[in-house]
Amino acid sequence: MTTDSESNRTAVFVDGGRIPFQRSGTGYKRLSAYDLGRMAIEGMMARSPIIPEQLDRIIMGCVIQDVNTSNVAREAALGAGIPNSVPAHTVTMACISSNQAVTSAVNLIRSGQAEIVLAGGTETMSDIPVRFRKKFRQKLLDARKYKSIGDYLNFFKGLRPSDLLPEIPSISEFSTGETMGESCDRMAAHFNIGRHAQDEYALRSHQLAAKATEEGLLDQELLPATVPPSFEIITQDNGFREDTSMEKLEKLNPAFIKPHGTVTAGNSSFLTDGASASLVMSEQKALALGLKPKVYLRDYTYVAQDPEEQLLLGPAYAVPEVLDRRGISLSDIDVFEFHEAFAGQILTVLKALNSDAFATQYLNRSAKVGEIPMEKFNTLGGSLSLGHPFGATGVRLITTASNRLMREDGELALVAACAAGGLGHAILLERYPE
């Protein structure tokens, strides 16, 4: 039996949603991460019976920061009409940033510092910050101290024409200089995951997303977005390819390691704009407000590996940690929602979990973690087909898993994701009892 004190510090997931994810350069191409985050907050609050003044905190994930809205959670909250008395902060942990937002909310509730937290994330790849090169930036900063005409006349001294060119943010790992796609290609080759298997998995993801959209299975998590200046209403994701096929996927050239790589544009997640929001509360507060939680937010963990050798293997380390803490196995899980950075990445993680050799060499276990049944895995599509706005994906995963648990009459769900820097995350969800 749960006491009032325990209930007050038990974190529950009451609701979650996201504005429809859009391929970068399409539906949200004129908007900023601030705009997207604001719409997600507005959408979540509009369908919730709580009022903004009841929020104790707002936490949002964001990876590619705009210097004008560096604390985009605060700016988006103010733009959405949240009272200025509600603190808000932004977290960044690469692809698991909004996972961090949710677990930060859990920690605030467990420690008694908050009862209602709005946790989410926002990201745009349509308007990334483009800088001048270092030498020219330094000249501009030095120019603030100029006093004479001579100083200004010497501005271009020592500069080459190439120094005036813009500097596009690199997609490579800072610590290794290698792109995530290159790392995935090497990792897939090491685990003997071939091109055909990767294309098959990508096709599965797109077909499942198209089917889920057609049948309305994602409607519950979608928050309509109104895009100025025409105020067009976007109600559906536009990244999945319902008309793709193995024949089309097989024609694509390797994207990273040429000519023999296996990672292509077709079996990789694409650049995406989007935002998500969720309400995480103490169980006692939710019940006092007459709200029915969807799931308990139970055990979770974050892990880190060598970003050069095991950049994308985080879930293979995080999943067994969470299972062991609960004393359960993969067979006890009813719903699996894992982030799909690349088809090669997700297939490698699944193979590692089902490998005795990997378990003994890297997990200090005598036997493999086990095999995940595909009929329970990412059944509504995933990041390969729905998209991956870096700062927002974690809340999508938790929202989808929670809704699936209720729809499929399951008890436990497992959410996991990899992230740049060799990071990984897993969290266990338990369906709230009727």
CB 314, CB 424: distance < 8 Å: yes
Say how many residues make up the chain: 434
CA 190 to chain centre: 26
Which residue type does 292 have? K
Q: Beta strands 412-419 and 423-431: pairing type? A: antiparallel
Active site residue 184: no
Give, in degrees to the nearest 5, the angle at Cα 395 between 393 and 399: 120
Which among 31, 95, 319, 380 is annotated as catalytic? 95
Residue 429 bridge partners (DSSP) = 297, 413
Distances in whole angstroms, Cα of residue 173 to Cα of each of 281, 311, 392: 36, 9, 20
Which of 209-224 are b and which e, b meaning 16 or more Cβ less than 10 Å from the residue's Cβ?
Answer: bbebbeeebbeebbbe
Which among 249, 418, 426, 429 is annotated as catalytic? 418
Q: φ, ψ for residue 301 (rounded to 5)?
A: -150, 160
Instruction: Identify the burial level of 16 via C-beta atoms within 10 angstroms of its C-beta, where 0-12 means exposed, 13-18 middle and 19 or more buried.
Output: buried
The first and second tokens of residue 206, run together, are: 């797109």
Active site residue 95: yes
Give, in degrees to the nearest 5, the angle at Cα 226 between 224 and 232: 110
Q: Residues with catalytic annotation?
A: 95, 418
